[in-house]
Chains A and B, each alone.
Chain A
């Protein structure tokens, strides 16, 4: 009964939408925090009664912008979780935060509510680029928010977006050098991805701007790896860097294909129900979610069993993103294709571990699609 379990809580609201973001986020005039707290609690209870697993090893508040939650909601949720499950001592409890002064002012209250780690969406240290990315904070404001966070939280991470339109390698090198002064313990470095259904997608298609891709993108990536290794923070995942011991336990659950419950609009989960792994998906629209939870006790839109085959491919898809690779005891893969990828220097196979090499990780999508081709 005490299998490890991670919990994800999705807060789907933002003050404004960033033009690159394709996450489930909404801009609402009025949010009734009491109602939302009740609904989260109801849905968590539903999962407690449905899925197996007892020991909560990580909790993550994502969004949207969860730093817009009123601290009493966070506190209420965490108290409820403690009521339902056994929560491991030292359980990592992360909240994503935007580095505006308003949100930074709430850090202390979040700490008191039970949050022990924040992940701050800095994105850039150039004001002009922040504007382009649709961010409402300045670089200075972000640095200030980090300073506040450091006084309050033991652990924190920050996000940066690079390979931006018109960015040069030199420009990024200079910016990352500056950023290294405020990076501590953990950082996520993402290349800007133009996602379908975002304002950037349309603008990019129209030719308003171009972003470094293929070879250029690879150059950006390799520069980033070299700098981070020199700084003592090699990547432990495609876009994530940490000093030893500071890796995100919650995200490792995803990549190690562990069990996690996702509650709140649009959240996904991988949970075990009666010994069978299931994929869960919650309805995306906030209003419908509230209604479903009120009526049925949960907002599930889908809860599908996953075949062994799908489980293995998902495990590989996630696990090969990690430096440590995937633990596999039985290989159900096309041997010819696997060997070819090993010969080409994309994958490494030791006794029980399949790993992507740096070359293979950089083109993991192609590697996987070839492997399953």
Chain B
């Protein structure tokens, strides 16, 4: 079968992304564009049609990229093919965002008329600029009473550095000025510069997800050549070859086509069952007519944040395993492996792209799969340089080798950008200092400060984001990307009960923080562990050195006041019941500690 010409010539195609902060109305605006172009009838519009998952809809976060092909007849009388790319919207997914942006020639930058520019928006704008995007600034939510178009314009000019007079004021909610926006897309954004149909196929794998009917669905942008049904294609990164069995687009309804031509976006399926076979950023080419070089910028996603998840009910281990497998079907960046903790039983050590990713996975496991989980304190990947010259990647503090064999420990550092109203600057500077931060830059835009810091990631995963939000009453925004690894004076802090280490509470901390954190945990456990028959020593230690200690005195009184002839059987039952209760206990030395104490200690770690 020979490929057909595109329905729309290249110069009548516009591929664009929408850049916006969470809650700045990206999805609503996208809905309005779809509706205006007739993609869906009024009655078919459910709010935020693009966000499929409940969690995406609720939290206003897009996790998976989506494309929609819109047909728009412009004022010049020509019908244009507009491919709207809805990008994932969070820092954890910055690689995915960069690939989504790479599939487009231009972006709409959405700024909330009442909120101004946020840190994350800025990061994504820079990423769009790196991808040579033409950017149309859009001031959204002008229908709101609090809308301040002038300051939004000022922010666009001063913070982002785009000419403010080019900004378009619109309302995604009421549809005001949507026509002007569509005209601007056509007039101001460039068309794709793809080569013609005869060039060897070169297509970008933008994203992929698992569909229980279709298998893995791959979102693609054709750069050169075409993708057609029946074609044998090669994934240049993973070197796999497959036959395309379906080609289509979203309008946003799924529409099957025979092919996607140069410059076009859509989806294909190719009989793939495992999402990890489809790496975001990979290049697709024709097996028989291969292109010379793959697209630039492909890199496998690397989990940066790790934590262990244990079912509160140990009987739910299998359910947790199956649930993780189900989620991983659609999320190749989620990795997990079996872990057996003395304190918490059987569970999994899981790796995530970042904090939000971790939170979303935990939430989905609890909500969609009805699991009760105990997460351990999040940790990062340390590079342990051994005396013998080898390097070990440490994913779990429990596995840290003996210190005498370690030469250096390196930890990941990030570059963070924080935008905050001036009044919270002092508190945020203090927070960054406490977390071993190094200030890089401090600039002002009106009454907002832009703070750039280098910070150790392990200080950020702990509770940095929550503290940032609480110090700034929710006004500060935060964005980061991983910078490099750096040698630091890091130690493993162990918590011991009666001399035995509690694996689930082990953590790696900077030596300067060890004593404070150790004391905190000891005090906390002292309150949480119920009194026992015997005195319990609770200690925090670095290696063999005790740096903090608490002692829980023995229980003095526990006796039934009245015990006569009629009470024997009842009392006996109570004893048997206590015996059963011990199944939920973990034994440390001669002390039984209820698992609930560890759970509570870990929970409080979030506060």
Contacts and interface: CB of A to CB of B under 8 A. Distances in A.
A340 B531 CA distance: 18
Given A314-B572, A369-B579, A193 B561 contact: yes
Interface stretch (B100-108, B231-239, B563-571): B563-571
Contact of B568 (A217, A314, A346, A373): A314
Contact of B557 (A190, A192, A217, A266): A217
B369 interface: no
Interface of chain B, main secondary structure: loop
Interface residues on A, range: 35 or more
Interface string B575-603: 10011001000000010100000000000
A239 B562 contact: yes
A369 to B, nearest CB: 5
A330 interface: no
A364 B564 CA distance: 15
B533 interface: yes
Contacts, number: 102
A238 B561 contact: yes
A213 to B, nearest CB: 8
Nearest to A193: B561
A146 interface: no
B58 interface: no
Given A251-B564, A254-B564, A267-B566, A372 B575 contact: yes
Contacts of A251: 564
B556 interface: yes
Contact of A268 (B533, B561, B565, B590): B565
A239 B561 contact: yes
Nearest to B559: A364
Contacts of A268: 565-566, 568-569
Given A214-B531, A270-B568, A368-B575, A193 B560 contact: yes
Contact of B533 (A23, A214, A262, A370): A370
B590 A317 contact: no
Given A363-B557, A365-B558, A370-B533, A279 B569 contact: yes
Contacts of B532: 366
A174 interface: no
Interface string A123-154: 00000000000000000000000000000000
A6 to B, nearest CB: 8
Interface in A3-53: 8, 23
A228 interface: no
A373 B531 contact: no
A281 B569 contact: yes
A346 B554 CA distance: 12
Given A262-B566, A268-B568, A373 B561 contact: no
A99 interface: no
Contacts of B555: 214, 363, 366
B579 A373 contact: yes
A215 B533 contact: no
Contacts of B579: 369, 372-373
Contacts of B582: 373
A317 B572 contact: yes
B126 interface: no
A75 to B, nearest CB: 23
A321 B563 contact: yes
B465 interface: no
B557 A214 contact: yes
A337 B568 CA distance: 23
Contacts of A362: 556-559
Nearest to B574: A365
B565 A363 contact: no
Interface of A: 8, 23, 190-193, 213-215, 217-218, 221, 238-239, 251, 253-254, 260, 262, 266-270, 279, 281, 310, 313-314, 317-318, 321, 340, 344, 346, 359, 361-370, 372-373
